[in-house]
Structure 1
Amino acid sequence: MYGVAVDLRPSDTSRSFRSAAFRTVQVLRISRIIVLGLALQGALFAQANAAQPVPPGNRHAEQPEVPGASVRRTRAGKTSFDDKYEKVRELLATDSALVGKIKKTAAAYGIAPIHMVGAIVGEHTYNVDAYDSLQSYYVKAASYAGNSFRFAYKDEGISDFVARPEFAECAALSDSYRLWTCRENIWEAQFRGKTIDGKSYPNNRFSAVFFQPFYAGQTFGLGQINPLTALMLSDLVSQKSGYKKLDADDAAGVYKAIMDPDISLAFMAAVIRKSIDDYKTIADIDISTNPGVTATLFNIGGSQQRARTLASRRASGAANWPEENYYGWLINDRLDELEQLL
């Protein structure tokens, strides 16, 4: 019987295959180390550059003073702030349809629904009496449709006013927020309280002079949205919620939008989203962690300028935080029970 010799030494092909496989494994290991390193570096960079979250709660130990106008309105209604707060809280607790709309709208704008609850509670505690039902707002919204009023000061309509040469620098701005902010700034700098071409203009806000033909200085609807604010945020709301863009020449359409609960909620969310974004990009501060701060800004407005002021203070070494006003203080003080509504 003849034996068959078997060469157990690896062939050149086998050696080549094993060498290639080893190199592949080594490359994969190195690649994995590089990827993990880059991921860690990215995480550390993101952490180092993340906006600082505002600490929870109130900065003031006691509630700041409530403005006299709010006190007088409440007394005239023969009620109290505590009664108005309890009424709106109870209505939210029993209105599952509204709470559902709040959650859905908040999700569309990437904010926590507690911010919208805080704004509604604040407005109906200090600025208006609590609503009776959503249906009452739908009815009020419908009542504006087809009316012929316009946004104007005396005999000068808003479109004619902003067509003046003083507003030429705004003409190239297509974004509604930048456009109307530009126009508001020019009003403040060149028209407010001054006489131009023989015509005197009131020493009052742009929104009060041109955009509130019924009750100057007041806001309307579930979210108490100012018509000028609605025009500013029209593009964002159209993009996020799909509603038709507002037109300053259609005053009835603007009022219908801010009175309609569904559309009004979208504008509320847009106001809050804009405030959060302004503080994050301008002051490197994350106010989304503090509903009292977002409620304060919803109440007083001016998030861009206030964020710039805060950024300037912090740059000079003053490590302070945004502070809540009387309105936001209430929201933080009652935060636990308000969150239970959701």
Structure 2
Amino acid sequence: MRQLLPVLALATALFVQSQTTALAIDVVPPGNRNAEQPSIPGASTRRTKAGKTSFDAKYEKVRDLIANDGQLTGKIKSIAGKYGIAPIHMVGAIVGEHTYNVDAYDRLQSYYVKAASYTGNFRFAYDGESIGDFVARPEFAQCASKKGSYALWTCRESVWNRSFRGKTVGGTSFPNNRFSAVFFQPFYAGQTFGLGQINPLTALTLTDDVARISGYDKLDENDAAGVYQAIMDPDISLAYMAAAIRRSIDAYRKIAGVDISKNPGLTATLYNIGNPDARASAFSAHRAAGETTWPEENYYGWLINDKLAELEGLL
């Protein structure tokens, strides 16, 4: 019995520690932190005016697409369940993308038709150098030991920002632009695609998660057509959307000690701006310094929280 007491004491201590750690997670309250919508970027405004439409009209169009398509809402609910997130987070991302980025199609079937058109012989490259050859450069050697696609491509993007972006290396001048825009947009720089408006680099980053949870084939940066087929297909695109949202929620919980899963405006914001790990780290540092209490939504996420009751009614 005496020998058993230390073991019981250790088990009790570990249990108490685990409970304390669990209680340390602060739940971000629902709603917007900003009373008024933050400024909408000029590019979004210009794109909407060029289409001779308005943000209100685009919002209503994507809202109606979701409201009138039981097949789509069924897919959203099913996929959200697999990734352990509430389906409203996926609705928020879809609505935000099609309100401030591209206009929605009237029917889900149109996205399948569009996906079928993305075939052909094209590749991810810059100035004649394929992405495969580019990441084989010695500057990327530090990324070789990274486990999983998320860590690997996050490392590669960091190397790009640090060693290549806006610099001349080996006689090649590289643009002062995002890694995804320079190497992963053979059609239109800076454009995202499909129902989920997924960026090709984002898809490569999340491919291990999607392969593990949804069972889709892993993507290969040397097969650009395969990447585009994945992000254009509505079913696969929704899986990547869910994986991105799951990553954002996990990043803020693990890195910053806050639970953002009850605030769809925040997950929509992170879906819009990306880089959840870096943003969670920055928020954590600001919070520790007493500069902020909760993460804030941007213009995109603000809309989702503002329209939350209506959007939840779609489900």
Partner Cα separation in structure 2 for residue 120 and residue 303 of structure 1: 18
Q: For 2:121 and 2:292, how far apart are their aligned partners in 1?
A: 51
Is the counterpart of residue 324 in structure 1 residue 297 in structure 2? yes
Work out which of the residue numbers 92, 107, 110 in structure 2 matches 1:136.
110
Show the counterpart of 1:274: 247
2:177 matched to which residue of 1?
204
* Correspondence for 1:338: 311
CA contact (8 A) 1:122 1:331 kept: yes
Give the deviation of 1:183 after TM superposition: 0.7
Q: Which residue of 1 aligns with 2:278?
A: 305
Q: Which residue, out of 269, 289, 307, partners 2:262?
A: 289
Task: Indicate the SS of the match to 1:295.
Answer: helix
Q: Is the 8 A contact 1:144 1:253 kept in 2?
A: no
Alignment of 1:170-189 (within 5 A): 170-189=143-162
| Mean Cα deviation higher: 247-256 or 311-320 | 311-320
The reply to whether residue 162 of structure 1 matches residue 124 of structure 2 is: no
Report the residue type matching 1:113 in the other structure: P
Tell me which of 125, 134, 145 is aligned to 2:99: 125
Quote the residue 2:222 is aligned against.
Answer: 249
Alignment match, 1:190: 163
Q: Give CA deviations for 1:6-43 in whole Å, capped at 9, x if unaligned.
A: xxxxxxxxxxxxxxxxxxxxx9xxxxxx9xx969x649
**Post-superposition CA distance 1:78-125 (Å, at most 9, x none):** 111011111111111100000000000000000000000000000010
Q: In structure 1, what is the equivalent of residue 36 of structure 2?
A: 62
Q: Distance in 2 between matches of 1:299 and 1:222?
A: 14
* Structure 1 position 153 matched with structure 2 position 126: yes
Question: What is the distance in 2 between the residues matched to 1:120 and 1:289?
Answer: 18
Extract unaligned runs of 5+ from structure 1.
1-26, 28-33
- Name the CA distance, whole Å, in 2 between partners of 1:75 and 1:209: 26
Q: Offset of 1:44 from its aligned partner?
A: 8.6
Partner SS, residue 237 of structure 1: helix
AA matched with 2:107: S
What one-letter code is carried by the residue in structure 1 that aligns with 2:86?
A
Instruction: Find the aligned partners of 2:271 and 2:213 in 1 and give their Cα distance.
Output: 19
Letter in 2 for 1:172: S
Computing the radius of gyration from Cα coordinates, the structure with the larger value is: 1
How far apart are 1:289 and its partner, in Å? 0.9
Alignment of 1:256-267 (within 5 A): 256-267=229-240
Identical amino acids, percent of aligned pairs:
70
* One-letter amino acid matched to 2:48: T
What is the CA-CA distance between 1:137 and the residue it aligns to? 1.1
The Cα offsets for residues 63-86 of structure 1, whole Å up to 9 and x where unpaired, read as 011110100111111111011111
* Number of residue pairs aligned between Structure 1 and Structure 2: 309
Residue 115 in structure 1 maps to residue 89 in structure 2: yes
Q: Which residue of 1 aligns with 2:23?
A: 49
Q: Taking structure 1 as reference, are residues 50 and 104 closer, same or farther at Cα in structure 2, changes over 3 Å only? A: farther
Q: Secondary structure at the match of 1:288?
A: coil
Q: How far, CA to CA, are the matches of 1:133 and 1:50 in structure 2?
A: 44
Which of 77, 83, 86 aligns to 2:51? It is 77
Give the direction of change, closer, same or farther, for the CA distance of 1:48–1:186 in structure 2 (3 Å limit). Answer: closer
How far apart in 2 are the matches of 1:94 and 1:43?
49
1:178, 1:137 → 2: CA distance?
30
1:91 aligns with 65
The whole-number CA distance in structure 2 between the counterparts of 1:289 and 1:243 is 29
Give the letter aligned to residue 86 of structure 1: E
TM-score, with structure 1 as normaliser: 0.87
Question: How has the CA–CA distance of structure 1 residues 59 and 197 changed in structure 2, closer, same or farther, with 3 Å as cutoff?
Answer: same
Q: What runs of 5+ residues in structure 2 fail to find an aligned partner?
A: 2-7
Give RMSD over aligned pairs: 2.1
For residues 232 and 97 of structure 1, what CA distance do their matches in structure 2 show? 28
- Correspondence for 1:11: none
Give the secondary-structure state (helix, strand or coil) at the position aligned to 1:279.
Answer: helix
3-state secondary structure, aligned to 2:296: coil
- In the superposition, the TM-score normalised over structure 2's length comes to 0.94
**Cα distance, 1:314 vs structure 2:** 1.6
